[in-house]
């Protein structure tokens, strides 16, 4: 299998040709102000857009934002993204108020060489996410009709069998953008023969969300460090009380089995920050992981855990990190995530941040993004790749 790349398209010549770019502009929007809270995903697609503009393409960008129910919803409009994209490329970005309707057609028709338009949220059309192939394909026909070539640079969406990701590539000459190509190359290194020791750091809320990737990685890693809300199900599986911490009772037997099979390679916190409530101003103390009071819940890993995790990480040659160690959005419970992230930045080797909340934490905590080998834009997509699943959006580009 091989994938044609943006460079292949540029070599063919794109001057005056309409190129549809599927981007992942699903950025967090502040509910109060309507401002973009983190423009990382917009910045990530700039290399592809810039290359196309400089080569004279007419660039039509499409994306989703949030999870509207197949109909227009003002709180999910991409209008603020169009404004920010225009600021970043230092050029006007025309905004179509629909996806494939009259506004989309007239907006695209008005573009000239090197200009950019952004279509309204793809998920405002029910055909984008429909499980009915005929409905999805009908929408794909309309979307593909706006362009002469297709570039997928939305790695955060390639694990979805959606019209703009899976069906449009079958209707146009298709190519992988700079971002998608980089993501696949990086993750291929992790699934191949990574330099050892290979350490994986997993956090997040639930074991059930990460079970498939734990199962896939456990035979391959030298150490698997587990923090976040999911660690409490593992601690309970070891026989420790976890108070009112997040707990998946139905996963206890699974965790016992994983711990038994890991033969000491799974590393759990030895202390946690236990609070009286899930609130930024809640009373909290550091307690041993096997001594969480019955009326408290763990909201972060503790300083001893950070030190132990950092020691393991410091000896690694390859590190993959997905999921925060605690509720990093609340300053009182951010130290664990920041400490582990800082340890990863000091690794003399290849480090990958697996998108999603981890990437958001890097930026929210003021860490230097360039200190990591790669920060993925697709949390779910990167995990599914590491699980060995076929990603529909990547498969659609393969020849």
pTM: 0.87
Rounded distance, CA 340 to CA 331, Å? 15
pLDDT of residue 323: 92
Structure tokens at 254: 């699974």
Give me the residue spans of the domains in the chain.
6-178, 186-387
pLDDT tens for each residue of 344-383: 999 999 999 987 788 888 888 888 888 999 988 888 888 8
24 is in an annotated binding site: yes
Rounded distance, CA 206 to CA 397, Å? 32
HSE, side-chain direction, 13 A CA sphere, residue 142: 19
Structure tokens at 306: 């950070």
Structure tokens at 286: 């550091």
210 is in an annotated binding site: yes
Q: Which residues participate in catalysis according to the annotation?
A: 41, 206, 356, 380
pLDDT tens for each residue of 209-254: 899 999 999 999 999 999 999 999 999 999 999 999 999 999 999 9
145 is in an annotated binding site: no
Q: What is the CATH number that goes with domain 6-178? A: 3.40.50.1260
Per DSSP, 29 falls in state B
Per DSSP, 228 falls in state S
Q: What is the CATH number that goes with domain 186-387? A: 3.40.50.1260
Tell me how crowded residue 332 is: count the other CB atoms within 10 A of its CB: 17
Rounded distance, CA 9 to CA 11, Å? 5
């Amino acid at each position: 299998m091989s994938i044609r790349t943006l460079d292949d398209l540029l070599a063919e010549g794109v001057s005056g040709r309409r190129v549809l770019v599927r981007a992942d502009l699903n950025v967090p929007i502040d509910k109060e102000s309507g401002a973009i809270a983190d423009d990382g995903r917009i910045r990530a697609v700039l290399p592809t857009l810039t290359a196309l503009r400089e080569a004279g393409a007419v660039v039509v960008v499409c994306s989703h934002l949030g999870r509207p129910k197949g109909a227009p919803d003002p709180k999910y409009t991409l209008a603020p993204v169009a404004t920010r994209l225009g600021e970043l490329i230092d050029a006007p970005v025309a905004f179509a108020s629909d996806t494939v309707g009259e506004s989309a057609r007239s907006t695209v028709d008005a573009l000239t060489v090197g200009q950019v338009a952004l279509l309204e949220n793809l998920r405002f059309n029910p055909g984008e996410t429909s499980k009915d192939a005929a409905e999805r394909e009908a929408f794909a026909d309309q979307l593909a009709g706006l362009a002469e070539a297709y570039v997928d640079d939305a790695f955060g969406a390639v694990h979805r069998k959606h019209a703009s990701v899976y069906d449009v590539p079958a209707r146009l000459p298709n190519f992988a953008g700079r971002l998608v190509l980089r993501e696949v190359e990086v993750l291929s290194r992790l699934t191949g023969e990574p330099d050892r020791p290979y350490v994986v750091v997993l956090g997040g809320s639930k074991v059930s969300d990460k079970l498939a990737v734990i199962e896939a990685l456990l035979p391959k890693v030298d150490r698997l460090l587990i923090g976040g809300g999911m660690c409490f199900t593992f601690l309970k599986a070891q026989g420790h009380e976890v108070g009112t911490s997040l707990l998946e009772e139905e996963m206890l037997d699974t965790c016992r089995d994983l711990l038994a099979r890991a033969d000491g390679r799974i590393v759990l916190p030895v202390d946690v920050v236990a609070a009286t409530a899930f609130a930024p101003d809640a009373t909290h103390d550091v307690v041993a992981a096997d001594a969480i009071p019955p009326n408290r819940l763990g909201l972060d890993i503790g300083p001893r855990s950070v030190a132990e995790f950092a020691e393991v990480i410091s000896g690694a040659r390859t590190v993959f990190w997905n999921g925060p160690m605690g509720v990093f959005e609340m300053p009182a419970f951010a130290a664990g995530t920041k400490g582990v992230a800082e340890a990863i930045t000091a690794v003399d080797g290849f480090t990958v941040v697996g998108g999603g909340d981890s990437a958001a934490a890097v930026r929210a905590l003021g860490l230097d993004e360039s200190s990591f080998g790669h920060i993925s834009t697709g949390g779910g997509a990167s995990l599914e790749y590491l699980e060995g699943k076929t990603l529909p959006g990547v498969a659609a580009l393969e020849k």
